[in-house]
């Protein structure tokens, strides 16, 4: 049974955890909260999306300190949107929180345009069904990452503007994985957070991802808690153009604040928490590289003659091409580092192995939506079915109920807010 406080703001399907709320439902929930709690809430538009939709922010409380929580930076990551509403409900029910001298600024969806292109995911559907409505934009269309490659989107400017206006002690940006474990990324270590984060994950029975792909080159403060490398250190694979140190994560640092990223999975497996060492790690990396290259080449061959379909499907096409272009360069880097790799955990191997499916599957799924060529759609459908089956065999997963996903995110934000306020 779903026990989220925010359930009363939504229809039965969302309240019972059967699906994620839409952008419109999230916006309506913000308006309801402001109407129900006019003494404690204000709503403002902090900017407009590329399509002209208002970017809404709900502010709760009063005081000298501020916390900024941003959700929906990636179109395919719906958990943060409902986590923001749940967080708002809990704050408004807690007199101590309202009297603590902190203003909470909550942005429930910073990329409504992208979120609408990603069809709403139902709870506990198969991964293949999930991919039928999949969308994730190329990097220049991602509000969080775009500034790191020199693109300042209106949505990016809205976040940077709010940071300059509110100067938050803490910015939390809420993310999720399709398959993985829970983990956190911080711009600096926060004493006490790792213990609280790990205890929450254990209580909720969520595997902690101790070696995510995103943090392959990061330092680990504790299991599943990572601190961003310094500016002169390698941060991620060369094929990944984004750099968190130049993204909207960096904005609060100018005012003495920090940023945290809280990741929770939709589907999970204990393999992501397995710290046992892989035998022959060099060969393991070469296997991963081979799998990734093989799937990328199969997909390239299938879509070699496809050109952009034009608006409104061009975003799907560009997202597909972007995800495919990453594959072979990552495979090449794995081949380069394999000979000198002397240690590799099962968790790291699992994360890398999952990525060899994730990128080709995302690319194939978006191209299938973008193209009108029925023959190509059939070919892509067969590849998707095959790879989903192989992924399920290699990394068996279970669905994590939506209320558990939300609980881990909300707890993590509250832990961080309390600990940074006490510093």
Asked if residues 282 and 341 have their Cβ atoms less than 8 Å apart, the reply is yes
pLDDT at 102 over 50: yes
- Tally the domains of the chain: 2
Cα 293 to chain centroid, rounded: 25
Residues sharing a CB contact under 8 Å with residue 71, sequence separation 6 or more, in sequence order: 80, 81, 83, 84, 107, 108, 109, 110, 173, 174
Beta bridge partners of 268: 180, 398
Please tell me whether residues 370 and 256 are part of one structural domain.
no
Q: How far apart are CA 319 and CA 87, in angstroms?
A: 31
Residues 364-404 have pLDDT tens digits of: 999 999 999 999 999 999 999 999 999 999 999 999 999 99
The pLDDT of residue 121 is above 80: no
pLDDT at residue 2 tops 80? no
The model's pLDDT over 293-344, given as tens digits with 9 standing for 90+, comes to 999 999 999 998 888 888 778 999 999 999 999 999 999 999 999 999 999 9
pLDDT digits (tens, 9 = 90+) for 150-194: 888 999 999 999 999 999 999 999 999 999 999 999 999 999 999
- Is 275 domain-assigned? no
Residue 364 and residue 228 share a domain? no
pLDDT above 70: percentage of residues in the chain: 99
CA distance 253 to 188: 10
pLDDT (average), residues 237-256: 93
The tokens describing 187, both together, are 């711009």
Report yes or no on 276 lying in a domain: no
CATH of the domain at 44: 3.40.630.10
Of the CA atoms within 13 Å of residue 194, those in its CB half-sphere come to 16
On the question of pLDDT at 1 being above 60, the answer is no
Contacts of 224 (CB under 8 A, 6+ apart): 181, 182, 183, 184, 194, 197, 198, 201, 208, 209, 210, 273
Same domain? For 297 and 222 the reply is no
**With 50 as the cut, is the pLDDT of residue 59 above it?**
yes
Residues of the domain holding 253: 5-269+400-422
In this structure, are 62 and 189 located in the same domain? yes
Quick one: 318 and 353 in the same domain?
Answer: yes
Is 290 found in the same domain as 244?
Answer: no
Mean pLDDT, the chain, integer: 96
pTM value?
0.97
What whole-number percentage of the chain has pLDDT above 90?
91
- Return contacts of 238-244, CB within 8 angstroms, 24+ apart: 238/329, 238/333, 239/325, 239/326, 239/329, 239/330, 239/333, 240/326, 241/139, 241/148, 241/149, 242/139, 242/142, 242/145, 242/148, 242/149, 243/148, 244/148, 244/185
């Amino acid at each position: 049974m779903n026990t989220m406080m925010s359930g009363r703001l939504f229809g039965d399907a969302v309240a019972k955890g059967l699906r994620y709320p839409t952008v419109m439902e999230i916006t309506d929930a913000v308006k309801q909260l402001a109407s129900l709690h006019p003494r404690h809430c204000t709503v403002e538009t902090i900017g407009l999306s590329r399509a002209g939709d208002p970017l809404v922010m709900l502010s709760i409380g009063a005081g000298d300190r501020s916390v900024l929580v941003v959700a929906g930076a990636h179109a395919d990551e719906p958990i943060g949107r409902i986590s923001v509403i749940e967080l708002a409900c809990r704050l408004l029910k807690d007199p101590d929180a309202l009297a603590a001298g902190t203003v909470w600024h909550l942005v429930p969806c910073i990329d409504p345009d992208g979120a609408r292109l990603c069809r709403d995911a139902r709870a506990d559907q198969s991964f293949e069904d999930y991919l039928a409505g999949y969308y994730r934009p190329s990097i220049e269309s991602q509000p969080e990452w775009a500034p790191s490659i020199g693109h300042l989107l209106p949505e990016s400017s809205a976040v940077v503007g709010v940071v300059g206006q509110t100067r938050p002690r803490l910015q939390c940006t809420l993310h999720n994985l399709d398959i993985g474990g829970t983990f956190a990324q911080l711009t600096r270590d926060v004493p006490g957070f790792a213990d609280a984060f790990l205890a929450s994950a254990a209580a909720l029975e969520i595997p902690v991802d101790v070696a995510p792909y995103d943090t392959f080159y990061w330092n680990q403060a504790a299991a599943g808690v990572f601190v961003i490398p310094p500016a002169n250190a390698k941060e991620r694979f060369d094929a990944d153009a984004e750099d968190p140190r130049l993204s909207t994560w960096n904005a609060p640092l100018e005012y003495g604040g920090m940023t945290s990223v809280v990741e929770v999975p939709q589907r999970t497996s204990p393999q992501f928490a397995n710290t046992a060492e892989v035998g022959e790690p060099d060969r393991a990396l070469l296997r991963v590289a081979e799998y990734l290259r093989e799937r990328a080449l199969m997909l390239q061959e299938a879509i070699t003659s496809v050109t952009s379909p034009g608006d409104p499907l061009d975003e799907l096409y560009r997202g597909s091409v972007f995800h495919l272009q990453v594959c072979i360069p990552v495979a090449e880097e794995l081949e380069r580092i394999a000979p000198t790799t002397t240690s590799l955990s099962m968790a790291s191997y699992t994360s890398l192995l999952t990525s060899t499916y994730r990128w080709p599957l995302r690319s194939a799924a978006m191209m299938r939506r973008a193209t009108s060529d029925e023959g190509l759609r059939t070919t892509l459908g067969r590849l998707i079915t095959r790879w989903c089956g192989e992924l399920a065999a290699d990394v068996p997963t279970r669905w994590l109920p939506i209320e558990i996903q939300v609980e881990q995110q909300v707890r993590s934000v509250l832990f961080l807010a309390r600990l940074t306020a006490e510093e």
